[in-house]
Amino acid sequence: MSGSTIIFYMLAALTLVSGVLAVTTRQIFRAAIFLLFSLIGIAGLYFWMQYDFVAAVQIVVYVGGITVLIIFSIFLTQQAGDLLPKPKIGRQIFSALAAFCGFSLTMLQLYQHKFIGTSEEPLLPTVSNIGDRMLGVEANGFALPFEVVSVLLLAAMIGCIVIALRSKPATT
């Protein structure tokens, strides 16, 4: 029972519990906060696996970016403090059932499957390695996806601008 194990289970607990709360609580702000915790927990798991870079990205993008975005949008669309409408109980049960079936099926398959790993020596996820892979154009390089994502972000930006910022006559 080493310390790392304890940390692992704590992180796991944090992630799952706050995840569950994030999708069940009826106060939208708390939901956002629980989401935040859950994401942080995942980041922690990355750290625990010594994938520091990903963990950092996770923190920056999610915690710093998306969650803030979500909270702002909540400000825009929600009067503070009022509870979310209660979901239909029937729907809830059915969804739970479906989700559970899916979960059990997946877990069953995952556990039944014998994963065969590689035997080659590992390539450590150091920032330098990541960096030259990221910009590599030959095999195992990810320059092209990088470009594609950039285009995607551009497009998303344009879309957001058009949709969110209405032109004058529309607003009046």
**Which parts of 34-63 interact with another protein (CB under 8 A)?**
35, 38-39, 42, 45-46, 49-51, 53-54, 57-58, 61-62
> Contact at 8 Å (CB) between 133 and 142?
yes
Min separation Cβ 32 and another protein, Å = 7
Min separation Cβ 88 and another protein, Å = 8
List 10, 23, 127, 135, residue binding another protein (CB under 8 A): 23
Per DSSP, the three-state class of 117 is coil
The encoded tokens of residue 146 equal 């990088």
How many Å apart are CA 134 and CA 144, to the nearest integer? 9
List 3, 79, 91, 172, residue binding another protein (CB under 8 A): 91
Min separation Cβ 55 and another protein, Å = 9
> Contact at 8 Å (CB) between 47 and 40?
no
List 76, 79, 81, 128, residue binding another protein (CB under 8 A): 76
Q: How many CA atoms lie within 13 A of 8 on its CB side?
A: 8
Interface pattern 123-162 for another protein (x via CB under 8 A):
x-x---xx--xx-xxxxxxxxxx--xx-xxxxxxxxxxxx
Q: List the one residue out of 57, 36, 54 whose CA is nearest residue 46.
A: 54
Using rule CB under 8 A, residue 10 touches another protein: no
Q: Identify the residue whose tokens are 């398959």.
A: 109
Using rule CB under 8 A, residue 9 touches another protein: yes
Min separation Cβ 53 and another protein, Å = 8
How many Å apart are CA 62 and CA 56, to the nearest integer? 10
Min separation Cβ 24 and another protein, Å = 8
